[in-house]
Structure 1
Amino acid sequence: MTTFRVCWCFHRKFRGATDGPPKPIKDLFSSYSDNGFMGLDHLQRFLVEVQGETSATRETAKKILESRDSKHVFQKKGFNLDGFFRYLAGDDNPPLNPSLGVYQDMTAPLSHYFIYTGHNSYLTGNQLSSDASDVPVINALQRGVRVIELDIWPNSTNTEVEVRHGRTLTTPAEFSKCVRSIRENAFVASPYPVIITLEDHLTPDLQAKVAQILIETFGEMLFYPKSESLEEFPSPEDLKLRIIISTKPPKEFLESKSMKDKEHELQKKSEEEPWGESDGDFEHKIEHDHDEHGEEDHDDGDQFYHQPTAPEYKHLIAISAKKGSHKELSDSLKVDPHKVSRLSLSEQSFAKAIVSHGPEIIRFTQRNLLRIYPKGTRVTSSNYNPVLGWIHGAQMVALNMQGYGRSLWLVHGMFRANGGCGYVKKPDFLLNTNQDGKVFNPNTTLPIKKVLKVRVYMGDGWRLDFHRTHFDQYSPPDFYTRIGIAGVSADTVMMRTKAIEDNWAPFWDEEFTFPLTVPELALLRIEVHEYDLNKGDDFGGQTCLPVWELRSGIRAIPLCNRKGEKLNHVKLLMRFEFL
């Protein structure tokens, strides 16, 4: 008996590379070339008239041609169509000017800058049960983060200092190892100062040990204040290659026996059975503490031991920190003309404060530092919207760098500005008062100051960075682009292109217009997704760019993965115009 096997096979064809430049690029090339040749004069005119590079000369055009592959350039004297397209879509044509570098004034006080700030910088994952390590500290510094937070606690024998998230199941890291890693990586990405915020839960003898470790590790890199309090913060320029310690000045009164017993009991409970509750109860407990008892953030520097402070430790505190609750906010936000400090607020307290004390917050941040940190219920290391902090003048908008998501993408976008040095100068309107003595109000709808037009031409590179079945098992992907603005409420918007079916190199050619009332605080959000009706849309790449540094003209936009790491080949070709 003969057996016949029938095989039903589904055949589908993956499209190859794009069929060359899209029509708008062909039309542009035709306008700036003769007989299929774009010479020096043509290219210079294109740079001035389309790319907005008004200072471009024939020498500028010559350097561009000389840097290109000779296969697409006629004797280094001009582009053919393919060479022109490859130039536009290449790495040499980014949306931000790489030669700009650090261009902002870096000689103003620290309070005049947004500062790239991390929260619980030592955690490798979630806030409840991940490991503490120096690895995420290294990663943050290499990315350009300028504020590193370390929670410091006694070890189980009260003889050494360790870094861990107190009253959780997170494993500890060695304090001295974290400090050494900071020294070795502090200025890899930027020469501007690194601020270490210490959340201190130590006895005076261990504070003395911390002081010894810091002095031995950093030596002359440490910035020492000349007096117990600063009258004004030094500038980033003055503090180049320096390490700054910031923490709450320890309380200096003797503890009673009952207080000592109570704290010993709490510490023992936290080490043996953190909270004594399940994960769900843990989240509820912290949320309850925040909402009912003011800002009881257990990892933000509350002192366990009320003994005389080790003088050598106190001497190292260059930026004095304090913590405010909503009840005490009016007092916390008072501006002392003879002293500056750092105030910390949780995201919930800050959200309430901007409603009741908006002008006072902005006035406070003109001289003092404001740090905002995630609420304790963010045990998965999620984050809040950082823009709300920036538009109210907060310098240290601290985010959990261990995860990923749109909040972190916005932070990455903000600190691409000013050469990626980790310090971005605040706009003047956040630093000044008007003739009536009033400060900037982010909730006021202002006149339109600038209009940004964005045309999304096309995208490519996914076929090289992703497996051919990554998005769909049996067909090429259906990509669409989401594009919008993050900024003051009047400017914030999100739009999208249509989905292009079955194409690895989608061509949209759609234009979007963004009227901006405060372009100085606007970030351009770009995301690509793959439409899938059945299983939900897939992620295809993202980036975020500071509008105030966007170069006009046709630019190649590299996209990043969810963690903010640049994909190898994926780019969008877009055009920016400012009206």
Structure 2
Amino acid sequence: MEPKFSRFQDDPDIKVMLKGSTLRKVKSSSWKKRRFFRLLEDGLTLWYRSRWAGRHSSFPVTELEAVREGHQSEVLQSIAEEFPADHCFTLVFHGRQGNLDLIADSPDEAQAWIQGVRKLIHRSSTMNEKERLDQWVWDWFRKADKNKDGKMDFKEVRKLLKMMNVEMNEEHALHLFMMADVSNCGSLEIEQFVHYYKLLTQRDEVLKVFQDFSTDGERLTMDELENFLRIEQLKEEGSSQYARQLIDRYEPSDSAKKQGAMSLDGFQMYLCSQESSIFDPGRQVLHQDMEQPLSHYFISSSHNTYLLDNQLSGQSSQEAYIQALKRGCRCVEVDAWDGSDGEPIVYHGHTLTSKILFKDVISTLKTYAFTASDFPVILSLENHCGVEQQTVMAQHLSQILGDMLLRHPLDEQMPQHLPSPQKLKGKIILKAKKMGGADGGQDGHLMDEVSDEEELADGDAESKSNLSRELSDLVVYCRSKQFQGFEHARDHGTCLEISSFSESKAKRHAKDKGTDFIQYNTRQLSRIYPSGLRTDSSNYNPQDLWNVGCQIVALNFQTAGLEMDLNDGLFRQNGSSGFVLKPDFLRDGNTQFSPEKPEERPGYRPLRLSIQVISGQQLPKVNQKEGSIVDPLVRVEIYGVPQDQAREETSHINNNGFNPSWNETLNFTVHAPELALVRFVVEDYDKASKNDFIGQFTLPFTCIQTGYRHIHLLSKDGTAIPPSSIFVNVSISERT
């Protein structure tokens, strides 16, 4: 019954990995240590130990996103002369986890590991729900089988339950154990353990739904499944064809398939699948009109993109750009300063952050700009260089980016509107200062623009210096301009000008002049950046700025938490392309919409959102101590216009992270559903101190699927933590 790894074991690359290799683990040009790495027999865990100390570590293949060959990291580039590229490779992890740089003793050994890991990543990413669950159960069995005899007695099983986050009545656990121990030998082999696990995870709440629609309680006929889809999941069109597809896709029993029916197992598989997730799959793909002006979209945007950590002493790194771009970010920031050898450098000025070369950042941008999305990337240049090194920057931009760099307007005339994301596909757009007015007139002097940090630095030298003609010529659609008020912008502004606002100024405008700000944002781009006082690189809540149509709401992508959850949630729709079309009332130049008074807009239709939180499944442990079990609660938070900000939570369940059951309903009224985001948070209740975070999932209100749904939880880092989920029943209705 071991998951399908056996067919892999004859693969020559996997054989090398199973046998193990001594590889150099590299952290810097001076830290290179030999470690013994091997793939464990489960085919899903990489294990390594130091040659001398008895210490060892391991990590699952599922945490890996990719393998890069050769000198493709800053660390490996720094030792390129010492070790040839064909010996080197980098393991890249999901989320914000740091990479692992490795050097093999020969090109053949490096290739075996590169190709082997790629095969394992492919295998783990193409598993279906059943294979994933089998693998999960198998992993637990292996962890608990301490003496490695392939069997588990009741004592080991009891320990395993604790490890799996479940506190179970001993009598009940023993009763199930005896049911599974069909040979009465006092221990379970893996197949019996799987049976035991099924008894343990029998989901009464799913059985109840199943039996509500099944006449015989054994299976759902095609008609009964159609009924369920129509009544509960609100799937009206083509439901008989859809029901047939679901049976083909999720029903494990061939005989049920032949009869066109679905068993409880198949029904549970369907309910746990991505198709039945709370996020409507139709909204997840690219589906919006991408032909409107750039100013009509929210754009996923990063601040201080070069930082992996905080802005006082953190590491500047090309890796930070790669991570942001992989997350779908479409506006990155580069702070450029004069370098000592004539080469501009990138870092957070006047601080202890490390420095990287401007040309290396641009090379990274060229390689990774369009891996997650084809739509344009805005390069927001914070220019602190003198004229000479500005010219060097212009040369690097032109030579490295080539045709990717947008150098001329798409049409020769001065445009009335910005071009669309569709027309700008594959282009990198420079946002920077331009000589003279909007038409690029007067020579050599900057337009009156302040830098992000200027409020703190009290008049940076940069704003008084001259500008290089070569750099100025590369600025086309995003000409940085100091904001001089909404009236001035209405009378004199053009769509080519973009202003930056600190979070405090932007929030003040949003509150006092919300409608003016919205009208301004229908024509021009605005960029919001975090306060310079956030030295820990924390983030502000982006929602207030999205409410008034600000497109480039820049966040510190390196800092996990609520604000990045909201950003990930908003941009998870529309193919994760980094562009989301604003609601129509934020695109109309004459709009009178105010976030403070959503009820005054034409077509105002508040909605009622009702969420029955039914149960939780296999929640991760917060405290890794063997005896500690979580006491979970679920909170639903709404982010949107001020009237929609709300949170409600369930009570907590004592000592059960395995299959807690709440059956509590939380109700909300949503006045501007087009702007609302819904965040589900699971926490470990603690009466003496702050609750611990367990998992979350955030999505736009407009992307919710109603009916019985699973919410697949994400870690603090935004990465999946299967098989953890929350089972809910969602309904949305007009408020009467």
TM range (shorter): 0.7 to 0.9
Evaluate the alpha carbon distance shift between residue 448 and residue 98 of structure 1 in structure 2; reply closer, same or farther with a 3 A threshold: closer
Structure 2 residue aligned with 1:210: 393
In 2: Cα distance, 1:351 partner to 1:321 partner: 23
Q: Give the C-alpha shift of residue 78 in structure 1.
A: 2.1
Assess if the C-alpha contact under 8 Å between 1:295 and 1:324 holds in 2: no
2:239 corresponds to which of 57, 82, 92: 57
Task: State the partner residue of 1:564.
Answer: 718
Tell me the equivalent position of 2:429.
Answer: 244
Distance 1:206 1:332 in 2: 34
Aligned residue among 206, 209, 233 for 1:28: 209
Q: CA deviation at 1:45?
A: 2.3
| TM-fit CA distance, 1:250 | 5.2
Deviation of 1:133 after TM superposition, in Å, equals: 0.8
Match of 2:611 in 1: 454
User: 1:180 Cα deviation (Å)?
Assistant: 1.3
Q: Residues 535 and 361 from structure 1, CA distance in 2 versus in 1: closer, same or farther, beyond 3 angstroms?
A: closer
Using the alignment, how far apart are the partners of 1:300 and 1:439 within structure 2?
Answer: 37
Using a 3 Å threshold, how does the CA distance of structure 1 residues 539 and 319 change in structure 2: closer, same or farther? Answer: same
Question: How far did 1:44 drift?
Answer: 2.2
2:329 counterpart (145, 150, 154): 145
Cα distance in 2 for residues equivalent to 1:405 and 1:234: 34
Q: Is contact 1:52–1:553 with CA below 8 Å preserved after alignment?
A: yes
Q: How far did residue 554 of structure 1 move?
A: 1.3
Tell me: CA distance 1:136–1:496, structure 2 relative to 1, closer, same or farther (3 Å). Answer: same
The structure-2 alpha-carbon separation of the partners of 1:353 and 1:323, relative to structure 1 and needing over 3 Å to count, comes to: farther
Hey, what's the Cα distance between the residues in 2 that align with 1:331 and 1:160?
Answer: 42
CA distance in 1 between partners of 2:519 and 2:463 (Å): 33
1:82 to 260, 265, 268: 265
Q: Does the alignment pair 1:320 with 2:482?
A: no
Counterpart CA distance in 1 for 2:576 and 2:291 is 17
Q: Which of 518, 528, 545 lines up with 1:362 in the alignment? A: 518
Residues 324-364 of structure 1 show CA distances to partners (whole Å, capped at 9, x for unaligned) of 46xx4346643547543111000111122224433221111
Alignment of 1:36-185 (within 5 A): 36-68=218-250, 70-71=252-253, 74-75=256-257, 77-100=260-283, 101-157=285-341, 159-185=342-368
Partners of 1:50 and 1:135 in 2: how far apart? 46
Aligned residue number for residue 16 of structure 2: none
Contact 2:444 2:469 in 1 (8 A): no
Seen in structure 2, the aligned counterparts of structure 1 residues 323 and 497 have a Cα distance that, compared at 3 Å, is farther
- Separation in 2 of the partners of 1:240 and 1:478? 48
- Residue 529 of structure 1 and its aligned partner are, at CA, apart by 0.4
Q: Does 1:516 align with 2:670?
A: yes
Distance 1:155 1:135 in 2: 21
Give the SS at the match of 1:570. Answer: strand
Equivalent pair of 1:454/1:576 in contact (CA under 8 Å): yes
Higher alpha-carbon deviation: 82-91 or 220-229: 220-229
Aligned CA-pair RMSD:
2.8
Residues 224 and 297 of structure 1: CA distance in aligned 2, closer, same or farther (over 3 Å):
farther
Q: Deviation per CA, 1:35-64: give whole Å up to 9, x if none.
A: 111122222222222111212432222222
Counterpart in the other structure of 1:490: 643
Conserved 8 A contact 1:33-1:39: yes
2:363 aligned counterpart, secondary structure: helix
- Counterpart of 2:575 in 1: which secondary structure? helix
The answer on whether the counterparts of 1:151 and 1:200 sit within 8 Å (CA) in structure 2 is yes
The sequence identity of aligned pairs, in percent, is 32
Q: Residues 230 and 456 (structure 1 numbering): CA distance in 2 closer, same or farther, change over 3 Å?
A: same
Question: Which residue identity does 1:130 align to in structure 2?
Answer: G
Counterpart mapping for 1:537-556 below 5 A: 537-556=691-710
Shift of 1:455: 1.4
How far off is 1:143 after superposition? 0.8
Alignment match, 2:381? 198
Aligned residue for 1:4? none
CA contact (8 A) 1:72 1:80 kept: no
Give the secondary-structure state (helix, strand or coil) at the position aligned to 2:682: strand
How many residues are paired up? Answer: 523
Whichever residue aligns with residue 455 of structure 2, its letter is E
AA aligned opposite 1:574: V
1:250-399 → structure 2 map (5 Å cutoff): 296=455, 303=462, 306-307=465-466, 309-322=467-480, 324=482, 328-330=484-486, 333-334=489-490, 336=492, 339-399=495-555
Amino acid at match of 1:566: A
Deviations 1:167-224 (A, max 9, x none): 1111111111111111111111111111111111122222221121111222111222
Match of 1:444 in 2: 597
Q: Deviations over 1:423-444 (max 9, x none)?
A: 11111111225xxx55211101
Change (3 A) 1:302 1:54: farther
**Contact 1:458–1:509 (CA under 8 A) maintained in structure 2:** yes
Quote the offset at 1:378 in angstroms: 0.5
Cα pair 1:118 1:401 within 8 Å, conserved: yes
Find 1:400's aligned residue among 534, 556, 564: 556
Aligned mates of 2:255, 2:518 — CA distance in 1: 54
Structure 2: gaps of 5 or more residues? 1-157, 169-196, 437-441, 446-450
SS at match of 1:198: strand
Deviation, structure 1 residue 295:
5.7
Check the 8 A contact 1:295/1:346 in 2, yes or no. no
Distance, in Å, in 2 between the alignment partners of 1:229 and 1:502 is: 66
Secondary structure, aligned partner of 1:171: coil
Q: Is the 8 A contact 2:502 2:531 kept in 1?
A: yes
More helix by proportion, 1 or 2?
Answer: 2
State the one-letter code of the partner of 2:357. E
How far, CA to CA, are the matches of 2:461 and 2:322 in structure 1?
26
Residue of structure 1 in register with 2:629 after alignment: 476
CA–CA separation in structure 2 for the residues paired with 1:301 and 1:487: 36
The whole-number CA distance in structure 2 between the counterparts of 1:242 and 1:390 is 24
Distance change in 2, residues 1:140/1:228 (3 Å): farther
**Matched-pair contact (CA < 8 Å) for 2:251–2:265:** no
The answer to whether the 8 Å contact 2:251/2:263 transfers is no
Report the TM-score when normalising by structure 2: 0.67
Q: Distance in 1 between matches of 2:435 and 2:354?
A: 25
Residues 465-494 of structure 1 show CA distances to partners (whole Å, capped at 9, x for unaligned) of 448x53x76342110011121000111100
Q: What is the letter of the counterpart of residue 32 of structure 1?
A: F
1:156 positional shift: 2.5
Instruction: Give 1:151 shift.
Output: 0.6
Q: Distance in 2 between matches of 1:205 and 1:236?
A: 33
| SS of 2:308 mapped into structure 1 | coil
Larger mean CA deviation between 443-452 and 510-519 belongs to 443-452
Cα deviation code 1:298-328 (max 9, x no counterpart): 5999726623x33332121123343546xx4
Structure 1 position 79, deviation (Å): 1.9
For structure 1, which segment, 92-101 or 513-522, has the greater mean C-alpha deviation from structure 2 after superposition? 92-101
* Structure of greater relative contact order (alpha carbons < 8 Å, 6+ residues apart): 1
Distance in structure 2 (CA, Å) of the matches to 1:331 and 1:175? 38
- The alpha-carbon deviation at position 535 of structure 1 amounts to 4.5
Q: Which amino acid aligns with 1:570?
A: S
Amino acid at match of 1:136: A
Specify the code of the residue in structure 2 equivalent to 1:440.
Answer: F
Distance in structure 1 (CA, Å) of the matches to 2:459 and 2:644: 34
Normalising by structure 1, report the TM-score: 0.84
Gaps of 5+ in 1: 1-9, 256-288
Which AA in structure 2 matches 1:249? Answer: K
